Structure 1
Amino acid sequence: MGASDTRRHIVEAADRLFYENGFEATSFADIAGDVGLSRGNFYYHFKTKDEILDAVIARRVSATRAMLESWEEAMPSPSERIRSFANVLVANRTKIMAHGCPVGTLCNELAKLDHAARGDAAFLFSLFRDWLARQFCALGREADADALALHILMRSQGVAALSTAFRDEDFIRREVADMENWLQAQCLPASPSDSRKPA
């Protein structure tokens, strides 16, 4: 395995362990053991856990951008794109019920630690916020696009938090369906597939 592949495996393992166990609770030894590296080989790639955290956040930013771009390409309707965002809760329900939202949990932990990377982690929420606001603009809601984006982002985070507390899959499905109904009420005619009357 080449150095770049080894580094990628380290970051993938760290990403999963930070999500499942928390950043602070995950040690170098945990990550090295998961990847099957000696401590010496591990330190060749990363000298500190903060370096790994930076790489994990960069990986998540890249994956988030790729996901949002794929929705743009696959779905001509902005309302369909927003539904895809809401339905991530259903698609990832097992992990969310076990560990919460990967973005929210990392941001919360780094904020409690007053960690220098807390702003970098919060940038993931900014990606979603800006993207959602653009979708609401495309629906003809330019004046309140950011407020609507924050509303659905807040709603999804609340659902994720309560899903972890209650471990109730039906709750997730009900809340996502309610978010879709709310979205339909916000739609203005912007395209043939978004031709519903405003609420």
Structure 2
Amino acid sequence: MGANETRQQIVDVADRLFYEHGFEATSFADIAKDVGLSRGNFYYHFKTKDEILDAVIAQRAANTRAMLDVWDQDAESPADRIRSFVHMLIANQTSIMAHGCPVGTLCNELAKLDHAAKDDAAGLFSLFRDWLAQQFAALGREADADALALHILMRSQGVAALATAFHDEDFIRREVEDMEAWLHAECPAASIPHSRQPA
């Protein structure tokens, strides 16, 4: 395995462990063990855990941008794109019930630690916030697009937190349906997914 592949494997493993166990609770040794590297070989790629954290946040940001690009390409209307965001709760319900929202848990932990990377982690939420605001603006809600984006972000985070506490799939599905109803109420043009609109 080449150096680039090894570095990528370290970042992938660290990303998973930070999510499942937390940044502070995950040690260099934990990551090296999962990757199968000696400490010496590990230090060739990363000198500190903060360097790994920076790489993990950068990778999550790149993956989020790629996902948003796919939603932009695949969904035919802004409303369908917003629904793609909402339905992420169902698509990822198993991991959310086990570990919470990967963005929310990281932001909360780094904020409590007053870590230097806390603003970079919050930038992951900003990617969703800005993208959702664009969708609401396209639905005719330019004046309060950002407020609507923050509201649906807040709803999704609340659902993720309670899903982790109660491990209730039915709750997640009910809340997703309620968010869709809220979207219809706020943006009547979003009432019917574009793909189902009559010709």
Q: TM-score, normalised by structure 1?
A: 0.95
Kindly provide the CA deviation profile for residues 77-128 of structure 1, in whole angstroms up to 9, marking residues without a partner as x: 0000000000100000000000000000000000000000000000000000
Alignment partner, residue 73 of structure 2 = 73
Alignment partner, residue 16 of structure 1 = 16
Q: CA deviation at 1:188?
A: 4.5
Alignment partner, residue 109 of structure 1 = 109
Within 5 Å, which residues of 2 pair with 1:104-183?
Answer: 104-183=104-183
| Aligned counterparts of 1:9 and 1:128: Cα–Cα separation in 2 | 26
Alignment partner, residue 194 of structure 2 = 193
Structure 1: unaligned runs, 5 residues or longer: none
Letter in 2 for 1:13: V
CA RMSD for the aligned pairs?
Answer: 1.8
Q: TM-score, normalised by structure 2?
A: 0.95
Q: CA deviation at 1:189?
A: 3.9
| Aligned counterparts of 1:186 and 1:193: Cα–Cα separation in 2 | 17
Say if 2:10 and 2:35, in contact at 8 Å, map to a contact too.
Answer: yes
Number of matched pairs: 196
Query: How many percent identity over aligned positions?
Result: 77
Say if 1:141 and 1:188, in contact at 8 Å, map to a contact too.
Answer: no
| Aligned counterparts of 1:50 and 1:102: Cα–Cα separation in 2 | 18
Alignment partner, residue 55 of structure 1 = 55
Structure 2: unaligned runs, 5 residues or longer: none
Q: CA deviation at 1:186?
A: 1.8
| Aligned counterparts of 2:167 and 2:194: Cα–Cα separation in 1 | 35
| Aligned counterparts of 1:167 and 1:40: Cα–Cα separation in 2 | 41
| Aligned counterparts of 2:24 and 2:194: Cα–Cα separation in 1 | 46
Moved runs in structure 1, 4+ residues, more than 6 A? Answer: none
